Amino acid sequence: MKILYDTNILIHIQDPKVLSPNLQLLLSIIREHGHQEFIHPASLNDIENDSDIERKRITLSKLHGYPRLPSPPKPDDEFISLVGTPANSHDINDNEILFSLKKNLVDFLITEDRGIRKKANLLNLDDRVFSIDSALDHFTTLYRRFYPSHSLLRKCYVHEIDINQPFFDSLKSDYGDADFNTWYNKCIKESRECYTYEVEDKVNTYDFDFNVWVHVAVLKTVKSIYPFYLQHVLNSFHCYKQSQKYTHGVGNQDLGLTRMILITLPICSIEEQQTIVTEIETRLSVCDKVEQDIEENLEKAEALRQSILKKAFEGKLLSKRELEEVRSEPDWEPAEVLLGRIRAEKTNKK
């Protein structure tokens, strides 16, 4: 993302004073995640108006270390009609800075100028114009991660892992040594963190098969998407079929992030999404109840089966009346007679 600093922020950064903790943390987050930092040529005009020649010379020398926004446009009549005619050179500079934001030359503007933030409200740009504190809140939330926690897991950096351990042999076999080493070195350069399950200081192996997923995608929903609707859509056959189409690989098949973004989703109004979710969950609850009934009936059937077998071996399977009816049949014979006949047949066969 491209971030534009207003003059008052630049002066904070370059002033020979201790930076506020929030500004220190904000700059750290912005630079850690590789965002581009720009100054607007109009900001240099503000500095040029400084009557202290030596201070102006020193400040400008520091600001020249930032890339300038290339060829920024001048505010048009429609823009001026919304924010008002500038009363002085400071207003002119502020308008030029805001107009560049409106024209999407940058993603965000960070300023402590309340006048600029007031104009941003008039232009519906207030969600892209931050103070130091609000910018810190935004970027902290944007990059907040929820990490797993377990007594057997060790958090470390990739470069701290010895890849010559047997655990990595199958990965090297699937990817090939050259590709695996390329990926591993890329992870090191990006200072990636990871979690390992270790026993006696070695990455532990398991006695069962499991999958290793290289990519994890974190989906941040927009206002037009109901999160529970997204959950059901991603679990649908529609998305599954697409994911199979974009899954590549031989030994270790993988749905890469660059291909994941090609998956299309059916979208309707937020009200319709909520109705769909309600209908799905109602039907799923019915399915859950049917499944529960089936399990209970299977348990009852098994109990009945055991009861029948128990009564059969105890001679209690039939009532006295049923026994009398059986004994009156012409082909009935006592068990002792039947067993004797079976023994006799076996003897004759020998």
Q: Assess whether pLDDT exceeds 50 at residue 26.
A: yes
Output the CA–CA distances (angstroms, integers) from residue 94 to 49, 105, 111, 165, in the order listed.
14, 15, 10, 59
Q: Assess whether pLDDT exceeds 70 at residue 250.
A: no
Residues 91 and 8 occupy one common structural domain: yes
Output the CA–CA distances (angstroms, integers) from residue 311 to 307, 315, 331, 332, in the order listed.
6, 6, 23, 20
For 164-210, write each residue's pLDDT tens digit: 888 788 778 878 889 889 989 998 998 888 877 766 666 665 554 54
Residue type at position 87 = A
Q: Is residue 276 part of a domain?
A: no
Residues 111 and 190 occupy one common structural domain: no
Three-state DSSP state, 241: helix
Distance from C-alpha of 344 to C-alpha of 324, rounded to nearest angstrom: 28
Residues 128 and 8 occupy one common structural domain: yes
pLDDT of 332? 80
Domain boundary pick from 105, 120, 142 = 142
* DSSP state at residue 238: H
Residues 13 and 109 occupy one common structural domain: yes
In contact, 217 and 261? CB cutoff 8 Å:
no
The residues that bridge with 203 in the sheet, in sequence order, are 198
Residues 9 and 75 occupy one common structural domain: yes
Domain boundary pick from 91, 109, 142 = 142
Residues 137 and 8 occupy one common structural domain: yes
The residues that bridge with 284 in the sheet, in sequence order, are none
For 204-247, write each residue's pLDDT tens digit: 655 545 454 555 666 777 788 888 888 889 888 888 888 888 88
For 287-325, write each residue's pLDDT tens digit: 888 888 898 999 888 888 888 888 777 767 777 787 788
Structural tokens at position 24: 């220190």
pLDDT of 330? 83
Residues 12 and 76 occupy one common structural domain: yes
Burial class (CB in 10 A: 0-12, 13-18, 19+), 256: middle
Residues 129 and 8 occupy one common structural domain: yes
Q: Is residue 286 part of a domain?
A: no
Residues 132 and 168 occupy one common structural domain: no
Q: Assess whether pLDDT exceeds 90 at residue 101.
A: yes
State the residue for tokens 């400084």: 50
Residue predicted with more confidence, 99 or 154:
99
Structural tokens at position 264: 């299309």
Residue type at position 319 = S
Average pLDDT over residues 146-161: 74
Q: What is the span of the domain harbouring residue 42?
A: 2-142
Q: Assess whether pLDDT exceeds 70 at residue 149.
A: no
Non-local CB neighbours of 7 within 8 Å, separated by 6+ positions? 43, 46, 47, 93
Non-local CB neighbours of 242 within 8 Å, separated by 6+ positions? 262, 263, 264
Domain boundary pick from 180, 203, 226 = 203
